[in-house]
Amino acid sequence: MQDHQIHVRNVAMWVLAMVLGPLGVTLSARAGFGLPMAEAPAYIIYLKASLTAGKFTFGLAGFIVRAAVLILLLILIRKFKPKYLLPLGTAAMYAVILDGWRNVVGDTVYDKTGMRILACAAGIILTSIAAACFLRTDLPQEVREAFVKEYSDEKGKKMMKVRWIYDLVALAAAVLLSLILLRKFETEAVGAGTLVSAALNIPLTAVTGRLIDGLWKDRENVATPQKELEELRRKEEDEKKKSAEEDEIIP
């Protein structure tokens, strides 16, 4: 029964993340205040390519960027494992779902300011929920999370630090791409919404995660990547305390 619950949770969290994440990105794009940092480079490429290739989509641009990120991961860790290809399949599905949502919701910026603000808020909330769901499944992750996890494991770095560096590099890449490809600073890709998303994403993800755990039955017995991460952080803190105590003992 417990194994069945774990399996159902894994699938449910993965499906929710794959549905809500692209929807949140779609709404952020319609708001026009800027996308989450990890999505901004792909949006710049889409804006440039769509000028000459009418059928080039945001989803396709996102897939290309995610494939490049996976290649970068292999270069940095100098190692290849078959499991590293799984996030590429997730990226392909994410791209299809993203383009599907854009066909349903629309792909242009809202005219009214009120609608833009609502879309921006909804986008931030939905992408945070999706992140919390991804943390609660061990099925193939989104490329960003896969990169952060694998690089942290291979290099012995803290996941939170690697995640922040990843996002900041993505932000810098988006700004450079905007200036190079579009010859201007594109606020639809990087703007106030990007900064608000960066500030609220982690707190909202944590709150959403607690709500999910509170609603899920037998949550204390269900192993999740989030709990594994928390256990790893506890171990790191214990090791630091132990090291500090030893330093005090040794004159």
Q: List pLDDT tens digits, range 59-92.
A: 999 999 999 999 999 999 888 888 888 888 999 9
pLDDT of residue 114: 94
Concatenating the DSSP letter of every residue in 31-86 gives HTS---TTTHHHHHHHHHHHHH-TT--HHHHHHHHHHHHHHHHHHHHT---GGGGH
Residues 6+ apart with CB under 8 A from 226: 132, 135, 136, 209
116 sits in which H/E element: helix 113-134
Q: Is the sign of the CA dihedral 142, 145, 148, 150 positive or negative?
A: negative
Q: What are phi and psi of 213, to 5 degrees?
A: -65, -35
For the chain, report the end-to-end CA distance as a whole number of angstroms: 55
Domain-wise residue ranges, the chain = 2-223
Q: What is the mean pLDDT of residues 20-39?
A: 94
Q: What is the pTM of this model?
A: 0.79
How far is residue 134's CA from residue 139's CA, in Å, rounded to a whole number?
8
CA distances from 139 to 1, 8, 135, 168, 204 (A): 19, 11, 10, 26, 22
- Residue-wise pLDDT for 159-201, tens only, equals 778 888 888 899 899 999 999 998 888 888 899 999 999 888 8
Q: What is the dihedral of CA 31, 34, 35, 41, to 10 degrees?
A: 130
Rounded Cα distance, 146 and 151, in Å = 8
Percent of all residues in the chain with a pLDDT value above 70, rounded to a whole number: 83
